[in-house]
């Protein structure tokens, strides 16, 4: 529970004229580490009796293919066969930067062919965790963000953890992402709009908050 070492390396924003150094106050898009928060909330709801891990998807989203055979536990474990979906590329360019409604996202999952019969294989599924986000909202009657704040953030005192709603905001200490191109020049990575990520990858946090979260999780403060 005691912070022993902390250090920030690199830059949070690079332009033609300046490089803004990263600090420990910088917030990052944590990508798929979001799934640990989503899984924690599902397990909390299970402990409260709001759902069972043996419940099938048909109880919440019967329109998804194989919904009557897929359990919550299989989705958590990436054993559901729910395929990763994405919009088709179009003339508008990079579709990942364009917002998508939950209804549109769900419709893509409903239309897609399962990767395999539930529980016969393991295959990483972002779409599965998107559905878990929807289940959290359905069971609680609250937004994913509200449940995150109530069940994790406020409970263990995280100061810099929340879900992203739009583009990275440098005025909120959020760090931009870069890759290096031949010749050694840094180029900003096109952002995936957080509405595409939802329960699979939309959380913003800091290394300090993540250290606090994992400590609380393994200390039994979030789930037994």
What confidence tens digit (pLDDT) does each residue in 108-135 have? 999 999 999 999 999 999 999 999 999 9
The pair of structure tokens assigned to 105 is 């996202």
- What is the distance of C-alpha 63 from the center of its chain? 23
Tell me how far apart the alpha carbons of residues 204 and 160 are, in angstroms, rounded to a whole number. 8
CA angle 104, 108, 112 (to 5 degrees): 170
For the chain, the average pLDDT equals 94
Are 223 and 195 in contact by the 8 Å Cβ rule? The answer is no
pTM, entire model: 0.94
Cα atoms in the Cβ-side hemisphere of radius 13 Å centred on 186: 14
Question: Token pair of 185, please?
Answer: 């020049």
């Amino acid at each position: 529970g005691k912070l022993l070492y902390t250090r920030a390396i690199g830059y949070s924003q690079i332009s033609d004229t300046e490089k803004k150094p990263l600090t420990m106050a910088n917030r990052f898009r944590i990508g798929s580490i979001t799934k640990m928060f989503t899984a924690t909330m599902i397990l909390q709801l299970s402990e409260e009796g709001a759902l069972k891990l043996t419940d099938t998807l048909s109880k919440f989203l019967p329109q998804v293919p194989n919904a009557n055979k897929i359990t919550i536990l299989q989705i958590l474990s990436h054993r559901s066969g729910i395929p990763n979906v994405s919009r088709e590329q179009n003339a508008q360019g990079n579709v990942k930067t364009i917002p998508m409604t939950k209804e549109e996202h769900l419709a893509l999952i409903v239309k897609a062919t399962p990767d395999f019969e539930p529980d016969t294989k393991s295959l990483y599924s972002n779409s599965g965790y998107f559905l878990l986000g929807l289940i959290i909202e359905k069971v609680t009657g609250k937004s994913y963000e509200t449940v995150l704040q109530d069940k994790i953030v406020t409970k263990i005192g995280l100061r810099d953890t929340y879900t992203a709603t739009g583009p990275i905001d440098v005025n909120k200490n959020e760090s931009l992402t870069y890759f290096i191109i031949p010749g050694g020049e840094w180029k900003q990575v096109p952002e995936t709009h957080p509405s595409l990520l939802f329960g699979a990858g939309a959380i913003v946090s800091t290394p300090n908050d993540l250290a606090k979260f994992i400590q609380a999780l393994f200390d039994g403060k979030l789930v037994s």
